[in-house]
Each structure stands twice: as structure tokens, then as C-alpha cells.
Structure 1
Amino acid sequence: MRRFYCLCGNEVGFHDHYCKHCGRDLAFDPQIGTMWSGELIAQDHFFAHSANRGKAVKFRPCAQRFSAIGCNWLLLNEDEHCQCIACRSSRVIPDQSIQRNINRWYRLEQAKRQLFQTLLDLQLFNAAQPAVFQDLRFDFLEDRRSNPNLQLEHVLTGHYDGLITLNAAEADEGFLHTMKEQMRERYRTLLGHFRHEIGHYFWLKFFTTEAQKRQFRSVFGDERDDYAHALERYYQQGNNNHWRSRFITPYASSHPHEDWAETWAHYLHIVDTLQTAQSYGISIYEPQEHNFNRWFVEWARVAQIMNALNRSMGLAEPYPFKLSEIVVGKLHFIDEVIQEYAQRQTNNAAATEKPLADTVASWTKS
């Protein structure tokens, strides 16, 4: 996450609605990735200035700015929608007549906006062309574990053909911690769920030709293996004791699709955290000159600093992962795929499919 500033020079947070120093209203512009400070006029006008742009611009605030989730994103005046690109992707939300669901929805949407911002930074989404990802939808559902009035026993977090379903109870810290213990996971967060499931969504975008799928299989394995049977085997028999040499998490060993999504989510963790470190002067990596080798070496250094800081406070290490050479190769593959896809998006040539980089496969050893 980058650092953002009010026009007065005060640093502000990504989700902030107003500057705590000067009182100006704040709103985030997803088209150019900047925080505007200005004056909110009624519910449909926002006159804004940016700390790095002197000219005043007129926007419309997202309609959800005035709801329980308090979205602080903007729309262009000519946009036909009343909600921003992040909020309007939610198809089903938790029942807002139940008090605890208000905070759940708030936290779910916050995590989704952070996800969208990372995807915008990576140029996987283009806020000026939302039709490109209009097939992406989110259902935030409940089950009887958190709402005894419902018939549904279990809501399973997952993705199917552009629809991402999340159990709304995952927005509760207690439920999240309980599930983490039950699943014996080292890392489980609400944002992590979003990052994992969006990986399944982008798999369908990236691997559309047989040539691309063959390259995927050379790195992650054959995704045509029976998915339901693979998961059943994983939950009944547990993970392979040697998973650490080939996979980023035990769950990644269950099936190539889950290996992709787990590794993809990890890649997004690194991207966002390294950007934050760079913004605060902790990292010396310059993203304008992207090079995977330097990028990953810098990440290893920053992760070591993060863990040391937490240990100094008597807290658990935020980054408990040890990555094998094979896992690093998978991250490199994802990096190459993203770079090529983003370039095609930039060139507005999505109809012309290019084969993925041939050099990527050499990073992963069988």
C-alpha cells in the first residue's frame, strides 16, 4: 500500500473519510490511484484537490459512502453507476437487520477495496474500463454456525465462473481464529481469502489456450485431475509430509488449482507489503525497474525485518514461511504471467493471445 496525503500535508489512511488535522473530506480515485482532499457537497458532488495535483476536479462520491460500510471511493461525473467499481461488485451482502452483520459487511468491503487497489496497481484491472471485469461478483453469505435462523449448514468460501463466495463470519476475529486452529493454518486472514479466490478468477483469464495451459501444467501440474476427489483425499489423508519442498502451504498440495491460488495469494501479499515498505523507506527496491530476482531478494530482506520487529514486541512472526526453490519458481511464473497480461491490457489487445514466456519454466525443477 502506498502512502497518501491530504492537501494540508498530513498523512492519511487508505480508508479515511476526512483529514484528522485540517478536517477536509477525503476520497480515493481508483482511476489514477490518488487520494483527493476537498469538500463534499450534499451526496452527489465532491470538489477535490490532490496534494500532487493543483487543479480542482469535480467527482461523485460512491453511494455507499453514506451506508454502514462508509466507502471512500469516487466515480467520474459521467459514470452511469451510483456505486464505485468495488462496491457494485457485491451481489449479496449479510442481512443488515442483524447488528453483527453491519460490522461484518464493513470489514468485508474494506478488504475487497484493498484487493481491488492492488489489482489496479498491477494493471490487472482498469478503472476506466470496468466492462473488462464486470463478470466478477461477490456473495457474502451466512450459515447456521453464525445465524441459527438459517437452514444452510455450511457456507464454503470458493469461486465459480466469476462468482466469489465468502462466509461472512470470516469477518469475525473469533471465527477466523477458530477456523485457523481447526485447519492447522499458519496464516489466515480475511484479506487472504479475497486474494486466494481472485486467483481462481484470474486463472480463467490467463490460461485460455492449450499452449498457455501446457505451460501452466509444466509448473503447477495437471489441473484436469479430478478436483473433488483430490480435495476429498487431502482432507481424509492429510498433506504429503514432503510438501515444504514443492508447495507454499499444505493446502497447495491438494490440487494444481489450489497450488496456483495459494501461490497467487502469496504473490499479492508480497506486492502489497513490499510497496508499503518502499513507501516508508524500508525497502530500496524501485518498482519502475522491475526485475524478479531483485524484487524477491528485497522481499526476503523486508520479511526478515518484519519478523524481527514483531519478535521485539513479543508477537508472533507475521511471515512464518520458508520458500523452496521450486516455490520461488512458481512465484516467478506468476510474475511473468501478470506482466504479460498487464501489457496486453495496456495495449488494448486482449483479443490477440500471446504464448507465455518460455523462460519461466526453467525456474521450476521437477
Structure 2
Amino acid sequence: MQIFNCDHCGHVVFFDSVQCMHCASTLAFLPDQITMAALAPAPDAGVGLWRRLGAVQPGALYRLCYNHATWDACNFAVPAASPHLLCIACRQTHRLPDLSDPGNLRHWIRIEEAKRQLFYTLARLGLQPTDDSAPPHAGPTYAFLADLPGEPGIVTGHHGGTITLNVAEADDDERARRRIALHEPYRTLIGHLRHESGHFYWDRLVRDADKLDAFRAVFGDERLDYATALSEHYAQGARTDWSHHHVSAYAAAHPWEDWAETWA
């Protein structure tokens, strides 16, 4: 678990904290600085603006993400000069379920929390731009959707730069049911997002970077028919010696999944 310190009083705070429990300062994560910060209201600078406290970047002005003010669903901040109401992480989500449904709202908030954790990891690795002017498609974009009556079920996966997640995965009971049905003992929200981000970055770090030969030397030949490989995996299960060669049984299904599982 990544921990931080309140830059007003020095007390330990956490990635999802919104208030320091020691000095009561408002806290927010600053994507452009990749850190947590203590903030104080700055009504002299403008409505809804906050001024950073502490010795690092003192006086810098921010707004709280619109999803914080509206849904209590985000603790990221937006630089005051930005034209955006949403923080850079929330802007990556392009499609949402019907948030008038309390269950969808509750599940979406949990998924966004996991997505912010992934954002932090990718930013620390230098894979996710943090400048507020960066276009959303500079990193993965997201669609968090719910099954609808009479419509095909939403399938979690990655396609064309967008990671789709069925919001039912945020329901503990439903996720446990799927975990048992699909023999995936480590099925978690953050694991799902990390896995699918692996598919996103395979396109950029392997395919688009002309690293296919190096990839195949480690993970195998991705030209193996993907649909057939997955069908055989679910019908027959993983090879008995998968643990000698892969990080999970699912990783043995296809080289793409082998790569993606190393991200989870």
C-alpha cells in the first residue's frame, strides 16, 4: 500500500484520503505532481479554488474534480488554469451506466477508485501522461457499462484503446460467483483493470514499437488463433504444468493473455 504524508502537518495519509485526520486539512491527489497534497480554500483567487499548503509548490491553485463535488466519487484535483471540470483520470471514462440506478452508482464509484489506483501506477512508470493538457487517449480510455434486459451481456475486455468493464464486477457476490465459474481465484477490480491495461500497452510497447520478435521469444507467437485458444482453454483447462511457465492458469491460454497477466 502506498502511503503519503500531509504536507501541512506531516501526518500519514493515504491515496484515497480526502481529509487529514490529524490537522483536518482537505486533501487531494494532484495528478500533475503525482502526489497527495493539503489544500486550503482560496476564495480570494476565485470561486471553488483551493491553494496548496506546504513547502512544495506553495500557493498553487486547484479545483476539486467535478465528480468529487457531484458524486463524492473522486479525490483528484484539477489545475485552476485547466478548462476541464473533470480531472485527467475521470476524463478517461467515456461511457457510463445509468447513474440514477443506485446500484450502478455504487459500483461505478468503486470501479473509479480502482481506476485511479491504476492511473497512479502507470503514471509512476511513465506510461500515463499526467499533464492536464494531455488528450484522454494518451492513456487507456474506459467504458463502464451495465447489462440491460434483452441485450447481450457486457463483456470485460480491451479493444481499440478502450477498456470495457461490466459494472457487475464491482458487486462482491457477483464477482465471487464469476471467480468460481471461470476458475480465476484472484479476480479483483484492480486486477481486471491492470490486466486489460496490459492489452492496451501491448499495442504500444510491442506491436507499435517493432518488438514482436523479442515478445515471441518470451511469451510465444501471438499469431496463434486467439478465439480458438480461448475456447480450448475454457473447455479443457490449462496445461497441468502451467505453474512452471506462467504466472496464472489463464496466462497459459494464449501469448497475449500471458503478457496481460503479468500486468495484473
Taking structure 2 as the reference length, the TM-score comes to 0.91
Structure 1 residues 223 and 65 mapped into 2: Cα distance closer, same or farther (>3 Å)? Answer: same
**Mapping of 1:284-299 within 5 angstroms?**
none
Q: Does the 8 A contact of 2:19 with 2:26 survive in 1?
A: yes
Shift of 1:245: 1.2
Structure 1 residues 143 and 90 mapped into 2: Cα distance closer, same or farther (>3 Å)? Answer: same
Whether 1:68 aligns to 2:71 is yes
1:239-297 deviations in Å (ceiling 9; x for gaps): 111211111111111111011000122xxxxxxxxxxxxxxxxxxxxxxxxxxxxxxxx
**Amino acid of the residue matched to residue 2 of structure 2?**
R
Which deviates more from structure 2 when the two are superposed, residues 106-115 or residues 85-94? 85-94
Whether 1:137 aligns to 2:141 is yes
Which residue in the other structure is 2:20 paired with? 19
Q: Does the 8 A contact of 2:18 with 2:27 survive in 1?
A: yes
C-alpha RMSD over aligned residues:
1.9
Whether 1:98 aligns to 2:101 is yes
Shift of 1:200: 0.3
Which deviates more from structure 2 when the two are superposed, residues 207-216 or residues 229-238? 207-216
Whether 1:109 aligns to 2:108 is no
The count of corresponding residues between Structure 1 and Structure 2 is 259
Give distance in 1, aligned partners of 2:216 and 2:93. 32
Give distance in 2, aligned partners of 1:200 and 1:27. 30
Q: Does the 8 A contact of 1:125 with 1:133 survive in 2?
A: no
Shift of 1:228: 0.9
Give distance in 2, aligned partners of 1:104 and 1:41. 33
Which residue in the other structure is 1:28 paired with? 29
Which residue in the other structure is 2:82 paired with? 79
Which residue in the other structure is 1:119 paired with? 122
1:213-256 deviations in Å (ceiling 9; x for gaps): 11111111111111111111111122111211111111111111
Which residue in the other structure is 2:4 paired with? 4
Structure 1 residues 45 and 255 mapped into 2: Cα distance closer, same or farther (>3 Å)? Answer: same
Runs of 5+ consecutive residues of structure 1 not aligned to the other structure: 145-149, 266-366
1:139-196 deviations in Å (ceiling 9; x for gaps): 111115xxxxx22242111000101100101011111111111122221110000000
Structure 1 residues 54 and 219 mapped into 2: Cα distance closer, same or farther (>3 Å)? Answer: closer
Shift of 1:106: 0.8
Whether 1:47 aligns to 2:44 is no
Give distance in 2, aligned partners of 1:93 and 1:216. 34
Structure 1 residues 135 and 121 mapped into 2: Cα distance closer, same or farther (>3 Å)? Answer: closer
**Mapping of 1:192-231 within 5 angstroms?**
192-208=191-207, 211-231=210-230
Q: Does the 8 A contact of 1:111 with 1:190 survive in 2?
A: yes
Q: Does the 8 A contact of 1:45 with 1:60 survive in 2?
A: yes
**Mapping of 1:202-351 within 5 angstroms?**
202-208=201-207, 211-265=210-264
Which residue in the other structure is 1:306 paired with? none
Q: Does the 8 A contact of 1:69 with 1:105 survive in 2?
A: no
1:291-328 deviations in Å (ceiling 9; x for gaps): xxxxxxxxxxxxxxxxxxxxxxxxxxxxxxxxxxxxxx
Give distance in 1, aligned partners of 2:38 and 2:208. 45
Q: Does the 8 A contact of 2:92 with 2:137 survive in 1?
A: no
Structure 1 residues 39 and 117 mapped into 2: Cα distance closer, same or farther (>3 Å)? Answer: same
Runs of 5+ consecutive residues of structure 2 not aligned to the other structure: none
Q: Does the 8 A contact of 1:159 with 1:197 survive in 2?
A: yes
Kindly, what percent of the aligned residue pairs are identical?
A: 39
Q: Does the 8 A contact of 2:129 with 2:138 survive in 1?
A: no
**Amino acid of the residue matched to residue 145 of structure 2?**
L
**Amino acid of the residue matched to residue 11 of structure 2?**
N
**Amino acid of the residue matched to residue 141 of structure 1?**
L
